[in-house]
Amino acid sequence: MAYRSLAKNSKSFLGPTAPRKRFDSPSELTRLSKSTIVNERVGSRCHPLTDLRQNKLLYNYEEEIKGCFDQIVPVLKKVSELQHEKDFVKRAQQLSLDELGYELPNHYLDKAWVCPLDMRAIFAWCTFRSHQEASSRFFSSDPLEGSELSEQAQEFQTFLDKCGFHLLDVSPCADGRLAHSIAYALRIPFSAVRRRSHAGALFDVENTVNRWVKTEHRRYRESLPNAASVPTRYLKVVVYHFSSVDPSHQGCAAHGSDDALAASAGLQRLLDFREAVENSFCCGASVDLLLIGLDTDTDAIRIHVPSSDGNIALGKWISALELYQETISLTLNRAEKRIEEAIKDNVSGDVDPGMTNFVSRLIINNFSQIDYVKEFYSGSYPDAGHAERFIGVGIGFKEVHLRNLTYFAHLDTVEEGSPDLDVGVKIFKGLNVSRELPIPIVIRFDYSGMVPGAKERAKADCIRVNDAIFMRYRDLVDDGLLHTLMTIRDRDQKGPAEVVGSSLDPSVQEAH
């Protein structure tokens, strides 16, 4: 299935592959925007099933948070111009307060009279500050309406249960272009899902079996989310990705931008997980699996629907973009019916009604995202490649749900996670170091406040990982081209993350 070479020649385009971008030329977009409005939503050519209110909410959030990060460089350029002027510190602070909303660190500004400002450090400091503010806001005001207490999360949990699933566990690729998979592309309330990002979506089988055991134990002991006797399943989902605009360069780096390879490796990992559960436990223990592909240009998904006997075909999927186009002119009911038909048509054999409902909902949710990208990004993101603002390292980051904001290296130790982290550092060498800017790394360890000593161990984990990063990337650190912020968070509480140290702290700087 050499899709890569097929994709280069549209004339020999015979088999199914990634959905191709449809809205990439301005002329076509103009033509589309001028075409007949086929539904009753005046002023936007969007799908009748699209949630316009949610789209607006999500866009405002994305624009606001990314805006905070993207203002840093322009403001710091102005600060740089001021550095030899009289009253520099005062003027710089006023400027920063006016334009960024916070003051800059005095222990860097104070040195401007004697040596050039360490703009790298100040840039990293501002990036960390922006992250902290976004993080705190996320936990205090639930801007994505997806917290455990939200109506959305409760409704989704009920829906999931009706579909026959007691836990939804999704592994997207660690790539920043999938960081918004849950809250945006799939429109799932973040608290109703377990997310574990890994390079190439290649999640850890042993860890996932442990999570399965914990889930079952809770069902047995506490009947949460339901009793173990209820015949619902643990649903494990892999989200691999590809690029319809530039399939051979902007696909998944972990799989050499080969979408067929990304899909088959993801499926194999899913099958390994199922076999591990089936072989390790008695009494018919098993799990349900789902394989999803995401086009990082349009955010349109494709779903390899599993048959009721658990088979998943790599070469068969339903494309949300094709269904979007096919149903955009239909009534709500007819559109929904058509989606259900498509699900059944794309599987050899039967599909469980619960799985049909679940897949159907994901497709409909994704219609909103297709319209989101159409409306706000002209149908295809301008940042087809990487454009992350920082690297997130460790365990946690429940609050990160924006595309291209964070490259995430989910790890306990740098020793085990270095392949993922190296990819992140390589990406940021291109994004930041090439512009003489440092790589900002936020370290996070979530802990359970109910476990004695867990907070202290989380702090110690931060310091250990920080030290390992400094050891591994010593050249970058020595040149001021890599900075870290250490944070911890009590996962049993609703509160924000807590900063426990940074390479930019005054004491750390003095020690250098």
The residue (of 68 and 454) whose beta carbon lies closer to its own copies is 454
Which residues partner with 73 through β-bridges? none
Quick one: which H or E segment has residue 99?
A: helix 88-99
What's the CA angle centered on 476, arms 461 and 134, to 5 degrees? 55
Place of tokens 């250098």: 512
Cβ atoms of 177 and 185 closer than 8 Å:
no
The residue (of 231 and 452) whose beta carbon lies closer to its own copies is 452
- Determine the Cα–Cα distance for residues 380 and 15; give it in Å rounded to an integer: 23
Q: In the complex, what is the shortest distance from the CB of residue 362 to its own copies, in angstroms, rounded to a whole number? A: 27
Q: In the complex, what is the shortest distance from the CB of residue 337 to its own copies, in angstroms, rounded to a whole number? A: 39
Q: In the complex, what is the shortest distance from the CB of residue 443 to its own copies, in angstroms, rounded to a whole number? A: 13
The residue (of 335 and 425) whose beta carbon lies closer to its own copies is 425
Cβ atoms of 104 and 93 closer than 8 Å:
yes
The residue (of 53 and 221) whose beta carbon lies closer to its own copies is 221
Q: In the complex, what is the shortest distance from the CB of residue 482 to its own copies, in angstroms, rounded to a whole number? A: 18
How far is Cα of residue 294 from the mean position of the Cα atoms in its chain? 12
Question: Which residues participate in catalysis according to the annotation?
Answer: 175
The residue (of 179 and 425) whose beta carbon lies closer to its own copies is 425
- Determine the Cα–Cα distance for residues 304 and 240; give it in Å rounded to an integer: 11
Q: In what order do the strands lie in the sheet with 233-242?
A: 194-195, 165-172, 233-242, 288-295, 301-304, 318-319
- Determine the Cα–Cα distance for residues 491 and 505; give it in Å rounded to an integer: 26
Q: In the complex, what is the shortest distance from the CB of residue 216 to its own copies, in angstroms, rounded to a whole number? A: 6
The residue (of 211 and 386) whose beta carbon lies closer to its own copies is 211
The residue (of 263 and 454) whose beta carbon lies closer to its own copies is 454
Chain residues in the site for its own copies (CB under 8 A) = 205-206, 209-210, 213-214, 216-217, 220-222, 228, 271-272, 275-276, 279-283, 285, 412-416, 448, 450-454, 457, 464, 468
Q: In the complex, what is the shortest distance from the CB of residue 212 to its own copies, in angstroms, rounded to a whole number? A: 9
How far is Cα of residue 163 from the mean position of the Cα atoms in its chain? 24
Q: In the complex, what is the shortest distance from the CB of residue 270 to its own copies, in angstroms, rounded to a whole number? A: 11
Concatenate the DSSP letters of all residues of 187-254 into one string: ---GGGSEE--BGGG---HHHHHHHHHHHHHHHHHH--SS-TTS--EEEEEEEEEE-SSSTTTSS-GG
- Determine the Cα–Cα distance for residues 484 and 498; give it in Å rounded to an integer: 14
Cβ atoms of 404 and 447 closer than 8 Å:
no
For residue 441, give the amino acid letter. Answer: I
- Tokens for 358, please give them: 């679940």
Q: Angle, nearest 10°, between helix axes 205-222 and 259-280?
A: 50
The residue (of 92 and 395) whose beta carbon lies closer to its own copies is 395
The residues, any chain, with a CB within 8 Å of residue 66's CB and separated by 6 or more, are 389, 402, 405
Q: In the complex, what is the shortest distance from the CB of residue 449 to its own copies, in angstroms, rounded to a whole number? A: 9
For residue 149, give the amino acid letter. Answer: L
Q: What 8-state DSSP symbol labels residue 184?
A: I
Cβ atoms of 338 and 327 closer than 8 Å:
yes
